[in-house]
Amino acid sequence: MSQTRYTKDHEWIRLEGDTAIVGITHFAAEQLGDVVFVELPEIGKTVTKGGEMAVVESVKAASEVYAPVNGEVVEVNSELESAPQTVNEAPDGAGWFVKLKLSDASQLDALMDEAAYKAHIG
Amino acid sequence: MAMNTQGRPSRPVSNIEQGGYADTFSGSRGLDQAEPLIFERGRTDITGVDFPKAKGTKARLGGLERTDEIGLPGLTEPEAMRHYVRLSRKNYAIDLGLYPLGSCTMKHNPRLNEKMARLAGFGDIHPLQPQSTVQGAFELMGELAHWLMTLTNTPCVAMSPKAGAHGELCGMMAIRAALDARGQSGRRRVLVPESAHGTNPATAVQCGFYCDEIPAGPDGRVDMDAFKAKLGDDVAAIMLTNPNTCGLFERDIVEIARLIHEAGGYFYCDGANFNAIVGRVRPGDLGIDAMHINLHKTFSTPHGGGGPGAGPTVFSEALAPFAPVPYVVKDGEGWRMVEQEDEAEGEPFGRMVAFHGQMGMFTRALSYMMSHGADGLKQAAEDAVLNANYILARLKHIMTPAFDGTCMHEALFDDRFLKDTGVTTLDFAKAMIDEGYHPMTMYFPLVVHGAMLIEPTETESKSGLDRFCDTLESLAKAAKDGDTVRFTSAPVHAPTKRLDETRAARNPVLVWTPPAETLEAAE
């Protein structure tokens, strides 16, 4: 399994074969509080690094989830629509958001590794 | 021995040993009565009024007449009256106490305004009446428009928008019309600071623009370098609130206006917080192109569950030709309503509402302005700022202000003072309910962690503010002393205990359905 990478906006991305799985970090899920709604993109949508990819709504606020890299959405975690609490329960596992087909895998290199992300959130 | 001491204890027996309050049989707590839904209180198969059976009538509906029950609750007048009075007793209102909710404040609503709004010539007219019969109402609208243009130093105002966000829409539609008119429809990027009200980006997107976020600097204001870097020939406008949602005056506003104009864009100012500067600053002097004014905030008309809003929008010379119809104009001795786009002088972008705006709010706002005078409005703004700073100064030793220095009309704290206490901003707000205060705005603006935004408003006296600050001081101290349960179990003294917000959001029950036995009874 490839190494997980992190953005400063608290998304994680992990390469598995040709596709990359994207979710939000444990820290983000905790800060948001109880997640009550997740809006996922359409399959086939092209996303660009830093652009809006999904929306996550908690009892506190609605927040955008940004694409960590350029790519095309090949799969979404539709389980989240009926069970948004999965984002709180397992943000880095069953609570994943989308799978992307990357257009440029080297973009991953610019993202933080776990140690750097830990330092980022303090 | 006095009679009333015989068999009539005059002191309560402590029931703490029995666990404090016992559940009551009725569900009421003392004189705070439990109140079911009106459909549950009244039976839906009866009527509150007995009409004699009509004689000699013939159904002419061709078999389409209703055969089942209509399903409306049948209550007598006193039952209906009690229902609403009981509900109102569970509500917290500006007429009950300090309302520190920031952003869209609940302000004092002077009773004089209510008296004026009920005058028959303003209150009992219809928007379709002949213009000659509503000249007084037109004059009032013209007079109010004059006040708004004078206070903002702008040449034009659209009176019809019906709330703040509607006023934003009005302003952005005018900006879009102006861009189209000069053949620059390609300008689609709107700059919005990250601390903006959520309605700002929503409005921009609604008008076909897309948003580009400007980060805030460490002082809570627009980061000027980031702003400059985002200017370009695809920028349509900036939407900026001043004072901003952190309760801070955007000191660089004149420079921002100059730069956005130089880049070919327009300046939309969100006037939600105009109440902090009215009479002191004229936004037109700062270089704004459009700004809505929340009459329901700055000029004391009731809102927030208490009544309709009104969001007249002022325009600069550049945008004035695109202002929507209708509007009133002085025509000789009388007044006339310009209803059609082709009667208008400029090129109105259209019409936003069927009629002419919120007449009731217009009457109340003008009543407020005329009873205060220009000097009184200025003093109201100054007192609002003074009161917020008093709270900031009194609480900064025990709570943590989000930014250094003084504030405008609202004091913003973050949750650093609750660090490691196990108490969150939400818990703190709930504990305020137990203390008899409506909570402040919490978790907004989003740029501040665990934000608590307190807007006391200008009408609170020093003694009232002191009582409020004493309470918050005690709460902050209790949190730091480890009295966590006081917060996490709050509210315990409210009519309804803490609700499960998560469950309510995940499984909302939006429609009341009658219990099974009611359905059977109706059949």
What was the pLDDT predicted at B512? 80
Contact residues for B128 (Cβ-Cβ < 8 A; gap 6+): none
Positive or negative, the CA dihedral B159, B165, B168, B172 is: negative
Asked if B443 and A60 come within 8 Å (Cβ–Cβ), the reply is yes
Cα angle for residues B315, B306, B379 (degrees, 5° grid)? 55
Residue B452 sits at φ, ψ, to 5 deg, of: -130, 110
- Compare all CA atoms of chain A with the CA of B425 and give the residue at the minimum distance: A60
For residue B3, give both structure tokens.
Answer: 């009679």
Contact status of B506 with chain A (Cβ, < 8 Å): yes
Half-sphere exposure of B332 (CA within 13 A, CB side): 1
Query: Which residues on chain B are in Cβ contact (under 8 Å) with A34?
Result: 501-502, 505
Q: Could you tell me the two tokens for A82?
A: 């009926």
Residues 6+ apart with CB under 8 A from A38: A54, A55, A56, A57, A80, A81, A84, A87, A97
In the block, residue with structure tokens 């039976």: B43
Report the 10 Å Cβ neighbour count for B14.
Answer: 8
How do the pLDDT tens digits run along chain B, 523 residues long?
A: 444 445 555 555 555 455 555 567 777 777 778 888 888 877 766 777 777 888 888 878 888 888 877 778 888 888 889 999 999 888 888 888 898 986 565 688 899 999 999 999 999 999 999 999 999 999 999 999 999 999 999 999 999 999 899 999 999 999 999 999 999 999 999 999 988 888 999 999 999 999 999 999 999 999 999 999 999 999 999 999 999 999 999 999 999 999 999 999 999 999 999 999 999 999 999 999 999 999 988 998 877 555 688 999 999 999 999 999 999 999 999 999 999 999 998 999 999 999 989 999 999 999 999 999 999 999 999 999 999 999 999 999 999 999 999 999 999 999 999 999 999 999 999 999 999 999 999 988 888 999 999 999 999 999 999 999 999 999 999 999 999 999 999 998 888 888 888 888 888 888 888 766 655 555 4
Select from A60, A61, A84 the Cβ nearest to the Cβ of B506.
A84
Q: What ranges do the domains of chain A cover?
A: 4-102
- Residue pair B187/B234 in contact (Cβ under 8 Å)? The answer is yes
**Topology (CATH level 3) of domain A4-102:** OB fold (Dihydrolipoamide Acetyltransferase, E2P) (2.40.50)
Q: How far apart are CA B422 and CA A34, in angstroms?
A: 17
What's the rounded Cα separation, in Å, for the pair B288 and A88? 44
Q: Can you give the length of chain A in residues? A: 122
The distance of Cα B124 from the centroid of its chain, to the nearest Å, equals 26
For chain B, say whether A122 makes contact (Cβ under 8 Å): no
Could you say which residues from 10 to 49 on chain A have a Cβ atom under 8 Å away from some Cβ of chain B? 34, 36-37
**What is the rounded radius of gyration, in angstroms, for the C-alpha atoms of chain A?**
13
CB-CB: which of B443, B444, B502 is closest to A34?
B502
Residue keyed to tokens 């009725």 = B26
- B503 at the A interface (CB within 8 A)? no
Q: In what order do the strands lie in the sheet with A52-58?
A: A35-39, A52-58, A62-66
Sort out which chain A residues have CB atoms less than 8 A from B443's CB and list them.
60-61
The reply to whether B507 touches chain A by the CB within 8 Å rule is no
Taking contacts as CB-CB distances below 8 angstroms, the residues of chain A near B446 are 61
- Give chain A positions within 8 Å (CB) of B506: 36, 84-85
d(CA B494, CA B23): 15
- pLDDT at position B27: 74
Report the pLDDT value the prediction gives residue B2, as an integer from 0 to 100.
Answer: 46
Residue B14 pLDDT: 54
pLDDT digits (tens, 9 = 90+) for A60-82: 788 889 999 999 999 999 999 98
Closest Cα in chain B to A63: B446
**Measured between alpha carbons, how far is residue B158 from residues B53, B239, B253, B454, B479 in Å?**
53, 18, 24, 31, 49
The answer to whether residues B462 and B454 touch, using CB atoms and an 8 Å cutoff, is: no
pLDDT on residue B330? 94
To the nearest whole angstrom, how far is the Cα of B427 from the nearest Cα of chain A? 13
- Four-point Cα dihedral B95, B101, B104, B107, nearest 10: 30
Angle at B305 between CA B300 and CA B306, to 5 degrees: 45
What is the three-class DSSP state of B396?
Answer: coil
pLDDT of residue B511: 83
Minimal CA separation from B210 to chain A, in Å? 12
How many other CB atoms are there within 10 angstroms of residue B303's CB atom?
22
Residues of A within 8 A of B501 (CB-CB) are: 34, 59
Measured distance CA(B239)–CA(B259) in Å, rounded: 13
The pLDDT value recorded for residue B136 is: 96
DSSP-based helix, strand, coil % in chain A, nearest 5: 25, 40, 40
In chain A, the residue whose alpha carbon lies closest to the alpha carbon of B500 is A59
**Parallel, antiparallel, or unpaired for β B156-158 and B313-315?**
antiparallel
Residues in chain A with CB shorter than 8 Å from the CB of B508 are none
Pick among B210, B414, B502, B503 to test the A interface (most A CBs inside 10 A): B502
Q: How far apart are CA B253 and CA B261, in angstroms?
A: 12
- Cβ contact (<8 Å) for B505 and A85? no
Three-state SS for B464?
helix
Confirm if B76 and B48 have CB atoms less than 8 A apart: yes
CA distances from B51 to B34, B44, B46, B80, B445 (A): 31, 16, 12, 18, 56
With helix as H, strand as E and coil as C, how does B293-354 read? CCHHHHCCCCCCCCCCCCCCEEECCCCHHHCCECEEEEECCEEEEECCHHHCCCCCCCECCC
Q: Is A84 on the interface with B (CB under 8 A)?
A: yes
| Residue type for position B438 | H
In sequence order, the β-bridge partners of residue A48 are none
pLDDT tens, residue by residue, B211-225:
999 999 999 999 999
pLDDT at position B26 is: 74
- Residue by residue, DSSP assigns A83-95 as -TTHHHH-TTTTT
Task: Give the single-character DSSP code of B493.
Answer: S
For residue A5, the tally of other CB atoms under 10 A from its CB is 24
Residue in chain B nearest A35 by alpha carbon: B502
Half-sphere exposure of A53 (CA within 13 A, CB side): 31
Cβ atoms of B359 and B128 within 8 Å: the answer is no
The mean pLDDT of chain B is: 89
What are the structural domains, with CATH classification, of chain B?
112-369 (3.40.640.10), 374-506 (3.90.1150.10)
B444, B446, B505 member nearest A59 (Cβ): B505
pLDDT at B1: 42
Q: Which helix (H) or strand (E) holds B66?
A: none
Q: pLDDT, tens digit, for every residue of B451-499?
A: 999 999 999 999 999 999 999 999 999 999 999 999 999 998 888 888 8
Instruction: Report d(CA B113, CA B115) in Å as an integer.
Output: 5
pTM of the entire structure?
0.86
In a 3-state reduction of DSSP, which class is residue B88? Answer: helix
Q: How far is B425 from chain A (nearest CA, A)?
A: 11
* B254: Cα within 13 Å, side-chain hemisphere: 5
Q: Name which of B189, B211, B448, B501 to mutate to probe chain A: the one with the most chain A Cβ atoms within 10 A of its Cβ.
A: B501
